[in-house]
Amino acid sequence: MNQADVTKLVSKLRIPVHPERRKLRNPKGPEGRIDKLRKTVTGLIKYERIELNYNRADEARQYAERLISEAIQHGDCHKPTMDIADYWLLEKELVHKLFKVLVPRYENLNSCYTNLLKAPRPQNTRNIEKVVLELKGNPYPPLRNKQSNNKLLIQNVLLDAAKYEYRQSKYAEIADKIGKGETTVDNNQKEKVTEKPSQS
Amino acid sequence: MKRHITCLSRIVMQNHHAKTIPNTRFLSTQEATERRNHLFTLEKKRQQENVGRIEKIEVNYKGVPKDFTLVMNKDISTPYDCAKHMSEWHVESSALALLDGNVYWDMHRPLTENCTLQLQNFTVAEPQQVNKAFWKTCSLVLGACASIAFKENVTVKLHSFPGPDIRSGSFIYDIDLPTLPDWTPTHQELYTITAEFVKFARQGHLIERLEVGEELALEMFKENEHKSKQIPNIARTNGKVTLYRVGKHVDISKGPLISHTAQIGRVSITSIHRLTGSSDSDIKQLYRFQGVALPAGVILDHFAFSILTERAKKLNLARSPINKFVERQDSNKENVAARA
């Protein structure tokens, strides 16, 4: 009961985190690993869209997310945050970019700040999986073609017309049934009417 | 003695022929295609030579990757040539060009004046015109395949195809097969025509456009009485007929059409219905070839595509060229049946 709730001490990442540890082996050991990740984070903040191997991208993404969320939470007058930014961004002008460009961009965002997308690779090759890591709201043309909701695309026009025709045929069927039902009801009533006098 | 026999046989042959073949020579479908292709090539060359002194025009390109200006040749350069200056992606994916924001222009039609140019592919925000061009192209290619698919002894006379109506669910070509008066295609035959279509489309023929005078058009379609009847009607406004060439096949269409046949992706020729003419029309019957197709790169689940093919099997009630009233009555009847 006395223990502090960990989730309240550390800001929660808004991305899924891989449950297993990634080795990212390096001759310099853990230090070399962190150096690699620092380079990647710097590159991401600088270019806003980079293509690299999946493991490295996914690992660096977590650090970048954390850096941006800290920056948003504490602002540029907070000494520890400034130290973190200074450590992770190798080019110092990017510290200004982080606080003056990215913080205003992401202040009111409810989701994560980066996208991780699979990059195409040639079929039947044994290359390592490549991905594209990008900051949201970057100035480049979008990678994903979100056109599936465009009703004017030819496949959607065709499917829509097919759906309309199917519905029309169903309505006709229902109308047909109702029409028949009414006539049968009428017949029953007539029968009853004819039956009644015979009973009486 | 030997010579005598040959002479005799020749005489016999000549007599025999004189009885069976009338004076005018009939071209087989393939020969007619070759002839049309040849005339098209000659006319295109002539028109290109007629341009004379080459003048320059400025084309302002708008779109990805960035806006810039190209200096192109007047009456020679096409939007396709402009796309070649950009990237392979532009060349392969662009289906139509949009000039000055309002005129839809074929990719292979020479530009005539200074203009702004936008390239349109199948995934632009408002693809209605591109879709229509695609549907027309599918009809045209269907005509080309039908004239390839049959054996030499079957005469194929293309009639026409109605304007594109995508919501009807199928593209159409009405074809006259005088030697096959009573033909119901089997599943296998439809499958063969589809295969022929796919084979033709995969070859990636550019779809060339040419405007020719009425006389030349009549000369080209001399052996096809349906087309030669339509030509004076088409040429009434300005004396010109717009022709398109796909591979070796030449056909009449108002256009615009898409850039090349490799842009046609998944396709299925679904049914062939017989249209019977009314008693006063001079064409007794036509076959309506129907199919459904999607642009290359559109991924549709097999179930969804089967819905489209099933729908395309029903007779498309687009206007029949030989009988305007029976169709309507039929549709009325269907409506009545649906209501009752």
Whether B99 shows a pLDDT value over 90: the answer reads yes
SS3 B57: strand
A114/A172 same-domain check: no
Contacts of B168 in chain A (CB under 8 A): 161
pLDDT band at A86 (very low <50, low <70, confident <90, very high): very high
A29/A64 same-domain check: yes
CA pair distance B63, B78, nearest whole angstrom: 17
Task: Show the CA angle centred on residue B54, arms to residues B110 and B118, nearest 5°.
Answer: 35
User: Among A83, A102, A135, which residue terminates a domain?
Assistant: A135
Find the CB nearest B167 among A150, A161, A169.
A161
Asked if residue A140 belongs to a domain, the reply is no
A35/A107 same-domain check: yes
Lowest mean pLDDT of A39-43, B65-69, B117-121, name the range.
B65-69
The answer to whether B171 and B267 are in contact (CB under 8 A) is no
A97/A41 same-domain check: yes
Asked if residue A68 belongs to a domain, the reply is yes
Domain residue limits at A26: 6-135
Q: Give mean pLDDT, residues A87-96.
A: 96
Asked if residue A198 belongs to a domain, the reply is yes
Place of tokens 């061009």: B133
Residue type, B256: P
A109/A79 same-domain check: yes
User: Among A80, A105, A135, which residue terminates a domain?
Assistant: A135
Task: Say what the pLDDT of residue B6 is.
Answer: 52
A88/A184 same-domain check: no
- What is the ipTM for the molecules in this complex? 0.85
Task: Say what the pLDDT of residue B290 is.
Answer: 95
Asked if residue A1 belongs to a domain, the reply is no
Residue type, B230: Q
The answer to whether A135 and A102 are in contact (CB under 8 A) is yes
Asked if residue A35 belongs to a domain, the reply is yes
A117/A74 same-domain check: yes
CA pair distance A152, B297, nearest whole angstrom: 16
A168/A186 same-domain check: yes
Query: How near does any CA of chain B get to the CA of A69, in Å?
Result: 33
CB–CB contact A158 B122 (8 Å): no
State both tokens at B170.
């199928």
SS3 B324: helix
User: Among A101, A135, A169, which residue terminates a domain?
Assistant: A135
Whether B22 shows a pLDDT value over 60: the answer reads no
State both tokens at A71.
């920056």
A152/A102 same-domain check: no
The model's pLDDT over A57-80, given as tens digits with 9 standing for 90+, comes to 999 999 999 999 999 999 999 999
CA pair distance B268, B262, nearest whole angstrom: 15
Query: How near does any CA of chain A get to the CA of B131, in Å?
Result: 6
A70/A18 same-domain check: yes
Task: Say what the pLDDT of residue B77 is.
Answer: 96
**Could you tell me the domains of chain B?**
56-121 (3.10.20.90), 129-324 (3.30.980.10)
- The domain total for chain A is 2
State both tokens at A4.
């502090």
CA pair distance B262, B265, nearest whole angstrom: 7
A130/A149 same-domain check: no
A129/A168 same-domain check: no
B210 versus A10: the higher-pLDDT residue is B210
The CATH number linked to A24 is 3.90.1030.10
Q: Where are the alpha helices (DSSP H) in B64-182?
A: 79-84, 88-93, 128-149
The model's pLDDT over B286-336, given as tens digits with 9 standing for 90+, comes to 999 999 999 998 989 999 999 999 999 999 988 888 766 444 444 443 433
Find the CB nearest A157 among B64, B166, B304.
B166
